[in-house]
Amino acid sequence: MTARHEVLAAPVRRLAGLLLLAGLLLLLGGTAHGQTITKVTDLNFGGCDNVGGATYTVAPAASPGAGACFGAMAAQFTVTGTPHTRAHMVLSNNITLPVGAQSLTVSLSDSVGSKTVCMGTTGTLTIYVGGSLTLPAGGMTSFGPFSTSTTIDLSPIGGSC
Amino acid sequence: MMKRILMAFAALVLLGSIPAMAAPVPFNVTITIRQAISITKLTDLDFGTVETVSSPTTYTVLPASAPGSGAGTAATAASFTIQGEATQVANVSFTANPVTVTCSAPCAGSLSVNLTPEATTHTFSGAAETFYVGGDVQVISTTQAGVYTGTANLSLVYQ
């Protein structure tokens, strides 16, 4: 009996090893069900005149639009993932941009619109993030470049599209 | 033993089937606030008084405090007080160039005036500065005597 057990044990160990390896590969390969988002460019409102009450807008598109300041550019992201999968885009509606002792509220907009990203048939898509802000009636008291940082995220959701 | 292995395998497969949660991707939001450009007109462009001619003659007002010798009597360049953010560069333009100046009744007709800014770009010092606009106009033998006027708009926009 002892000899028979040892004979069986070797194939079982090999099988166990193969199963564990396969499982590990599946675990690592599981990211293929999600999406990867990569930043291409930041959102830049460009150089805007300090005019009290003026609203400056950067369209969520390759072209910043007529209401944008000189040098404006929308943020651009490349999303890759499994074709026909979906994800929920996580992006703040408003962020605060400190400008010296003052601050501006930036309303963010995106080229997706519905917040649900569909990877389509190619598994690759581009997302643009623009924004809009209005200077206070009295204008700004500080000049120069001012920046803040925010994030964009994708949360996979079930189903296909 | 085999049961445990299969359970472990199933657990790994289950984990592998869960979509991965990507890390949030940070990005910057930037604005550059620039001092608003102010432009205030001091004087209009005036070619002065010129005489009617038998052959085409071009009269020129230099974009400077002195109009130069090619202008009529009492000519002046247009001048403006401009102010913008120090070291910043602006492009100079007109809403239209050339501009048409028309003769007031009883005369009739019009002339085309080419506007000449003292520079097509301007680097602000931060203080108030004077900016001149000159021009040239051609008078021909059929040009009627009279006062010709028109309107032009100067614009400076940061690059």
Q: Give Cα separations from B159 to A49, A67, B80, B89, B91 (angstroms).
A: 11, 16, 20, 6, 6
CA distance B159 to B157: 6
DSSP assigned state of A23:
H
**Does B55 fall in a domain?**
yes
Q: What is the longest distance spanned by two Cα atoms in chain B?
A: 116
The verdict on a CB contact (< 8 Å) between B20 and A30 is yes
The verdict on a CB contact (< 8 Å) between B29 and A39 is no
Number of domains composing chain B: 1
**Does B141 fall in a domain?**
yes
Q: What is the DSSP string of A35-80?
A: EEEEEEE-EEEEEEE--TT-EEEE-SSSS--TTSPBT-B-EEEEEE
Residues of A in contact with B22 (CB under 8 A): 34-37, 153-154
Residue A8: per-residue pLDDT: 52
Q: Which of residues 25-84 of B touch A (CB under 8 A)?
A: 25-37
Q: What is the ipTM of this complex?
A: 0.80
Which two tokens mark B107?
A: 């005369």
User: A31-35, A154-158, B68-72, B132-136 — which is least confidently predicted?
Assistant: A31-35
Cα(first)–Cα(last) distance of chain B, in Å? 74
CA distance A78 to A36: 8
**Does B6 fall in a domain?**
no
Given the structure tokens 């996580």, which residue do they identify?
A90
Band of pLDDT at residue B72, cut at 50, 70 and 90: confident
Residue B2: per-residue pLDDT: 57
Residue A15: per-residue pLDDT: 52
On whether the CB atoms of residues A31 and B16 are closer than 8 A, the answer is: no
pLDDT, one tens digit per residue, over A101-142 is 999 999 999 999 888 999 989 999 999 999 999 999 999 999
Residue A90: per-residue pLDDT: 94
Q: What is the longest distance spanned by two Cα atoms in chain A?
A: 94
Residues of A in contact with B39 (CB under 8 A): none
Which two tokens mark B54?
A: 């038998």
Closest CA to A67 of A134, A128, A127: A134
User: Mean per-residue pLDDT for B87-110?
Assistant: 93
pLDDT, one tens digit per residue, over B2-34 is 556 555 555 544 444 444 556 899 999 999 999
Which two tokens mark B130?
A: 């004077």
- Provide the CA B136 distance to its chain's centre, in angstroms: 20
What integer best gives the mean pLDDT of chain A?
Answer: 85
Residue B83: per-residue pLDDT: 95
CATH code for the domain of B123 = 2.60.40
**Could you give the angle at the alpha carbon of A59 between the alpha carbons of A55 and A64, nearest 5°?**
95
Band of pLDDT at residue B116, cut at 50, 70 and 90: very high
The verdict on a CB contact (< 8 Å) between A149 and B27 is yes
**Does B2 fall in a domain?**
no
Strands B110-117 and B99-103: antiparallel
Given the structure tokens 């020129």, which residue do they identify?
B60
Residues of B in contact with A141 (CB under 8 A): none
**Does B27 fall in a domain?**
no
Shortest Cα distance, chain A CAs vs residue B14, angstroms:
8
Residues of A in contact with B21 (CB under 8 A): 34, 155-156
Residue A23: per-residue pLDDT: 45
**HEC states along chain B?**
CHHHHHHHHHHHHHHHHCCCCCCCEEEEEEEEEECCCEEEEEECCECCECCCCCCCEEEEECCCCCCCCCCCECCECEEEEEECCCCCEEEEEECCCCEEEEECCCCCCEEEEEEEECCCEEECCCCCEEEEEEEEEEECCCCCCCCEECCCCEEEEEC
**Does B4 fall in a domain?**
no
Q: Is the pLDDT of residue A21 over 50?
A: no
**Does B111 fall in a domain?**
yes
Instruction: Provide the domain limits for residue B76.
Output: 37-158
CB count, 10 Å around CB of B149?
11
**Does B132 fall in a domain?**
yes
Q: Is the pLDDT of residue A5 over 70?
A: no
pLDDT, one tens digit per residue, over A48-102 is 999 999 999 999 999 999 889 989 999 999 999 999 999 999 999 999 999 999 9
CA distance B95 to B150: 13
